[in-house]
Copies of this chain bind each other. A is one copy, B any other.
């Protein structure tokens, strides 16, 4: 039984206060897939790239045992390319270049071998592609997690609301939760959003952690305070990949497991930002992940006896 991840596989060129990169491998599905691969062995990707992507770059993904049968390679095509510059605070960035290339006509292909999908991550993509993917799966997955961003709320709100009716978990940031709901209070925003379809809502707050709403409960997850954030690119995708990868491993969905899944997602995201691009996510060890999880436990733990 597999975890299927739909999203971009792309080239990024990044500038942060710590340096800049030429074209390196990026994309939401890449980050999410790498993160998930440390927690679950049967990860399958649906995406599209051009012929320019190259075997060495593809190897970054396949060397982690990730199935790429659903990764379409367009002959003569160019891969999606994004270039951005982060400001000093690392919380805001300017997009310098966006070349959709093969992504412009992306029509997700679901190989027959992917029809065993039990866990589905609809990575940040146009809602039409997210919806098409869902429709092309013969059986409804046990859990559907959808990640999106303000851009799709600006240009495709109706399509987004349609697909939201069919997902179990939505992950967005605090500004996006406010935009989607029209409510400033995150408690009120969550109430409204949970009526749009998802049973669970995760509000990502970057350096301030994340909130989980669902089953009438709220969980506040800490973020690990870091001395240096080299490159925030892919942190949200790594979070989503770690989150669903942990749940796929556990094969049990409830609020308590969701809380732990958020801690695992946060841990993977905390690794991601330590180096440029996917570098840090390429060579993690189980021991490193375990130690990082223990850091989160220590960070949040308190005991009040009375």
Residues of A participating in the B interface, judged by any CB pair closer than 8 Å: 88-90, 184-188, 205, 207-209, 211, 217-223, 225-229, 256, 259-260, 263, 293, 297-300, 302-304
Contact = CB atoms under 8 A, between A and B. Distances in A.
A219 B302 contact: yes
B220 A225 contact: yes
A220 B185 CA distance: 22
Contacts of A209: 208-209, 220, 222
A303 B219 CA distance: 12
Given A187-B225, A220-B209, A302 B302 contact: no
B260 A304 contact: yes
Pick the most buried of A188, A227, A297: most chain B CB atoms within 10 A of its CB. Answer: A227
A184 B227 contact: no
15 contacts: A88-B184, A89-B184, A187-B226, A205-B208, A208-B208, A209-B222, A217-B298, A218-B225, A219-B299, A219-B302, A220-B222, A221-B302, A256-B303, A263-B304, A300-B302
Pick the most buried of A89, A185, A256, A298: most chain B CB atoms within 10 A of its CB. Answer: A185
Contacts of A89: 184
A265 B304 CA distance: 13
Contacts of A303: 256, 260
B304 A229 contact: no
A222 B225 contact: no
A188 B227 contact: yes
Contact of A293 (B184, B222, B304): B304
Nearest to A294: B304
A226 B297 contact: no
A57 to B, nearest CB: 31
Contacts of A219: 299-300, 302
A229 B263 contact: no
A286 to B, nearest CB: 11
Given A205-B208, A209-B208, A225-B211, A220 B186 contact: no
A66 to B, nearest CB: 23
